[in-house]
């Protein structure tokens, strides 16, 4: 189905801003200089950005195919996402099992309708943008760009009456079906839920063994000869032993691993319990990732964070689906169930509204089920990899945390040797992904760090040239919100990631978009990763708009540590560079390339061993428009010199 007739709301000002940004970035007036913070690192690699593109890196000739999907065609399974008008009102029990997007988007609350004239202007602007070659990280960093704040409005959660979040199955029929990757493309996880959740004072967990966990699959919708039943089924509970609070226990969550799959192949499948009438799902389909190798890449990887379940979320997801991703990375803060009391009363700011009036930070766990139902058209057909954010902590009885996150998603933990749902790795074509935990011990003496060392040591860059990391709390945000909050994690882990020449780091947490230049230890470095923060998925908390470098917005250093990240103060005043002697810059730092407070999503297209195209799409733009784009170019001859794997080049 070709999506036509969709009403987009925007103002021509948005596109004028875009034009200004591009003019700004092309001026090239750039002051190069060190800006290092306290030196925590012994590595001495500090290279200037003046090096010309290397012959090894090569140059790519822009291909019209890169400019976006050839046709905005949405598969039938994804059409429910577009099929509804928003409403105007706006302790895990595990059992091993043997052998085992709106059609008329309501002007999201942030949008206003434009006239025909701005529509035509916008189309012309988009066409002009699309015909230009994106900038490259090989270029000298341009003047940092800050897009002026426009009217972004207010994000409002979908209510429990919205048909997209209501239970649409009966009996033991599966719902909330999702696909996740294993460590290799020959294997994948299928997850689903049977039975409904319970809420109240006397909830009784379902028996995970009451319903079987089976996936039947094959290469055609009418032929599913293979069967898998290896995995687990479980039930989790969220318990609050306080008078008046309502407890929650989930439906039965099933995770089954498929093995022996062909890479790059479309598989059809049904999941459920074939012994129960009506116990199997409809036929779904997903495509496995391409073969692991240096010349094998997926078409598009969507990157989102802090998604939530608002009308802005639906706009983000609709735009993302129209970009036809092969894989989705979700960088934490999923459904924001912890912005609700157990009686279903929600707020945009829990601490502001409920303060100390609740005996424990409550959650309303049905929001997780709402999110799973809304997302099912996406998650059942496009593999999605999730890493935890602070909104997944969800404290409960006995100081238990992360119960919902750990239970609902499948992770390649065992396959990647981490044996943890919080950090893991996997290969997709010529990319090795490392997903890390911001809210689990990240110290050099801890298990996560030791696992990371081993995992990075095993990476063969001649097989997977690209090394991409993802976690929740950003190291290089310049917004006031969460400014240098993750400094302790950066101090512990940055040198290790740098020494293995990580190419890109994706994060969320800050509710805005920001892309860095290549950076290491706050200093421009052609071998440092590009840090991209996409905590702009659309959740109901306020958007981050203030920058720490603006007058009056530099936070008190003592206020920056997060108790859930260890609570220590690791950030100090910068020791050199334009911000020497201060905690904050007095202008947008040179390591910050582009920042904008808008909702949106990003698409990464890895073209070959050295070139990847990154594009960020803000929600208020036309589908084809791109707000920020850059070719991320690897220079292996220069940046892998600390590795014996350099011999491969
Ligand atoms: Fe967060």
pLDDT at 213: 98
Per-residue confidence band for 112, with pLDDT thresholds at 50, 70 and 90: very low
Residue 612 is encoded by which pair of tokens? 């990847």
User: CA-CA distance, 361 to 341, in Å (whole number)?
Assistant: 8
Query: What pLDDT is attached to residue 305?
Result: 98
Distance 139 CA to ligand 1 centre (A): 32
Return the pLDDT at 77.
60
Distance (angstroms) between ligand 1 centre and the Cα of 391 equals: 6
| Residue 514: burial class (beta carbons within 10 Å; 0-12, 13-18, 19+) | buried
Q: What is the pLDDT of residues 232-242, one digit of tens each?
A: 999 999 999 99
- How far is Cα 78 from Cα 101, in angstroms, rounded to an integer? 6
Kindly state the DSSP code that residue 32 receives in the 8-state scheme.
-
Least confident of 116-130, 208-222, 372-386, 625-639: 116-130
305 CA to centre of ligand 1 in angstroms = 9
With beta carbons less than 8 A apart as the criterion, state whether 67 and 130 touch.
yes
pLDDT class for 256, splitting at 50, 70, 90? very high
Q: Element (H or E) spanning 128, and its range? A: helix 116-130
Between the CA of 432 and the centroid of ligand 1 the distance, in Å, is: 24
What is residue 110's predicted lDDT score, i.e. its pLDDT?
34
Per-residue pLDDT, 118? 40
- E strands present in 202-293: 214-218, 226-228, 231-235, 237-238, 247-249, 252-258, 266-272, 284-287
Percent of the chain residues past pLDDT 90, beyond the cut: 73
- pLDDT at residue 81 in the model: 63
User: What pLDDT is recorded for position 109?
Assistant: 33
Query: Quick one: how far is CA 274 from the chain centroid?
Result: 34
Q: CB atoms < 10 A from the CB of 647, how many?
A: 8
pLDDT exceeds 90 at position 519: yes
Residue 623 pLDDT grade (very low, low, confident, very high; cuts 50, 70, 90): low
289 touches 181 (CB < 8 A): yes
Instruction: Share the mean pLDDT of the chain.
Output: 83
Q: Specify the pLDDT at position 584.
A: 98
Tell me what percent of the residues of the chain surpass a pLDDT of 70. 78
The answer to whether the beta carbons of residues 364 and 314 sit under 8 Å apart is: no
pLDDT in tens, 140-153: 888 899 998 876 66
| pLDDT of 287 over the 50 cut | yes
What pLDDT digit, counting tens, does each position of 444-456 carry? 999 999 999 999 9
Evaluate if residue 28 carries a pLDDT over 90: no
- In the reported structure, the alpha carbon of residue 508 is separated from the centroid of ligand 1 by a whole-number distance in angstroms of 7
Nearest-angstrom CA–CA distance, 138 and 141: 8
What's the pLDDT score for residue 621? 77
- Nearest CA to 402 out of 448, 355, 439 is that of 439
- Full strand arrangement of the beta sheet holding 327-330: 135-136, 628-633, 611-618, 600-606, 301-304, 327-330, 384-386
Average pLDDT over every residue of 423-446: 98
CA of 607 from ligand 1 middle (Å) equals: 31
pLDDT band at 97 (very low <50, low <70, confident <90, very high): very low
Taking phi first (over 0 means left), then psi (-120 to 50 degrees means alpha), and beta for anything else, what does residue 462 get? alpha
The whole-angstrom separation of Cα 393 and Cα 333 is: 9
Q: From CA 550, how far away is CA 552, in angstroms rounded?
A: 6
Does 4 score more than 90 pLDDT?
no
Q: Which among 482, 547, 611, 617 is annotated as catalytic?
A: 482
Q: Check whether 7 has a pLDDT greater than 90.
A: no
Using 50, 70 and 90 to split pLDDT, how confident is the model at 359? very high
CATH fold label, 12-100+111-147+168-648: Purple Acid Phosphatase; chain A, domain 2 (3.60.21)
Give the list of residues 6+ apart from residue 617 with CB closer than 8 angstroms, or none: 319, 320, 323, 600, 601, 602, 603, 623, 625, 626, 627
| Reported confidence tier of residue 134, pLDDT bands at 50, 70, 90 | confident
Distance 193 CA to ligand 1 centre (A): 26
For residue 202, the model assigns a pLDDT of 84
Rounded distance from Cα 509 to ligand 1 centre (Å)? 4
Has residue 53 got a pLDDT over 70?
no
Task: Kindly state the average pLDDT of the residues 22-29.
Answer: 29
Q: Which residues partner with 426 through β-bridges?
A: 433
What pLDDT is attached to residue 98? 28
* C-alpha 486 – ligand 1 centre gap (Å): 11
Question: Poorest-confidence range of 52-66, 204-218, 257-271, 346-360?
Answer: 52-66
* Predicted pLDDT at 642: 60
Give the pLDDT band of residue 624 (cuts 50, 70, 90).
low
The per-residue pLDDT for 119 is 41
Q: What is the pTM of this model?
A: 0.83
Rounded to the nearest angstrom, the distance between the alpha carbon of 226 and the centre of ligand 1 is: 40
pLDDT at 54 over 80: no
Active site residue 617: no
Greater model confidence, 646 or 242: 242
Ligand 1 center from residue 369 Cα (angstroms): 20
- Quick one: the chain helix, strand, coil %, rounded to 5? 20, 20, 60
């Amino acid at each position: 189905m070709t999506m036509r007739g969709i009403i987009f709301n925007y103002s021509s000002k948005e596109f004028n801003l875009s034009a200004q940004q591009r003019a700004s970035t092309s001026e090239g007036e750039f002051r190069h200089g060190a800006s290092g913070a306290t030196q925590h690192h012994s590595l001495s690699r500090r290279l200037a950005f003046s090096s010309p593109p290397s012959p090894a890196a090569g140059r790519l000739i822009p291909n019209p195919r890169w400019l976006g999907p050839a046709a905005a065609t949405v598969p039938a399974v994804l059409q429910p996402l577009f099929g509804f008008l928003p409403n105007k009102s706006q302790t895990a029990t595990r059992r091993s099992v043997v052998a085992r997007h709106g059609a008329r988007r309501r002007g999201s609350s942030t949008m206003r309708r434009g006239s025909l004239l701005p529509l035509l202007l916008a189309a012309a602007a988009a066409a002009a943008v699309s015909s230009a070659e994106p900038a490259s990280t090989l270029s000298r960093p341009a003047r940092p760009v800050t897009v002026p704040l426009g009217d972004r409005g207010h994000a409002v959660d979908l209510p429990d009456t919205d048909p997209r979040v209501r239970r649409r199955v009966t009996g033991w029929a599966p719902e909330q079906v999702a696909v996740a990757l294993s460590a290799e493309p020959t294997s994948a996880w299928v997850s689903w839920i049977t039975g409904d959740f319970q809420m109240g004072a006397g909830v009784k967990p379902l028996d995970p063994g009451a319903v079987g966990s089976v996936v039947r699959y094959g290469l055609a919708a009418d032929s599913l000869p293979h069967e898998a039943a290896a995995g687990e089924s479980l039930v989790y509970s969220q318990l609050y032993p306080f008078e008046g609070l309502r407890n929650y226990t989930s439906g039965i969550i099933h995770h089954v691993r498929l093995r022996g799959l062909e890479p790059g192949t479309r598989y059809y499948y049904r999941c459920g319990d074939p012994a129960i009438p009506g116990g199997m799902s409809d036929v779904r389909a997903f495509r496995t990732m391409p073969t692991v190798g240096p010349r094998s890449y997926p078409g598009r990887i969507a990157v989102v964070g802090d998604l939530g379940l608002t009308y802005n979320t639906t706009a983000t997801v609709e735009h993302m689906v129209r970009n036809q991703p092969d894989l989705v990375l979700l960088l934490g803060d999923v459904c924001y169930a912890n912005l609700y009391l157990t009686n279903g009363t929600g707020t945009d700011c829990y601490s502001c509204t409920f303060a100390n009036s609740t005996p424990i930070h409550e959650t309303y766990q049905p929001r997780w089920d709402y999110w799973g139902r809304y997302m099912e058209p996406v998650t059942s057909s496009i593999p999605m990899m999730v890493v935890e954010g602070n909104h997944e902590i969800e404290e409960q009885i006995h100081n238990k945390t992360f119960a919902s996150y750990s239970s609902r998603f499948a992770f390649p933990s065992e396959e990647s040797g981490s044996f943890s749902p919080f950090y893991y790795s996997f290969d997709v074509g010529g990319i090795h992904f490392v997903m890390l935990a911001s809210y689990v011990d990240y110290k050099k003496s801890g298990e996560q760090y030791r696992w990371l060392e081993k995992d990075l040591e095993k990476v063969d860059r001649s097989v997977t040239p690209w090394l991409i990391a993802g976690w929740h709390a950003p190291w290089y945000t310049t917004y006031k919100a969460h400014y240098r909050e993750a400094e302790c994690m950066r101090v512990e882990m940055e040198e290790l990631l740098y020494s293995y020449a990580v190419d890109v780091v994706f994060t969320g947490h800050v509710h805005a978009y920001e892309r860095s230049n290549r950076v290491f230890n706050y200093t421009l470095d052609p071998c440092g990763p590009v840090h991209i923060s996409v905590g702009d998925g659309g959740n109901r908390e306020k958007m981050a708009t203030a920058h720490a470098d603006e007058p009056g917005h530099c936070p008190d250093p003592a206020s920056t540590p997060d108790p859930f990240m260890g609570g220590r103060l690791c950030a100090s005043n910068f020791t050199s560079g334009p911000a020497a002697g201060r905690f904050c810059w007095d202008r947008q730092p040179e390591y910050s390339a582009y920042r904008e407070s808008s909702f949106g999503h990003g698409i990464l297209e890895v073209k070959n061993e050295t070139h990847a195209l990154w594009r960020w799409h803000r929600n208020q733009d036309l589908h084809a428009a791109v707000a920020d784009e850059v070719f991320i170019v690897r220079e292996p001859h220069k940046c892998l010199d600390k590795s014996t794997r350099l011999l491969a080049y």
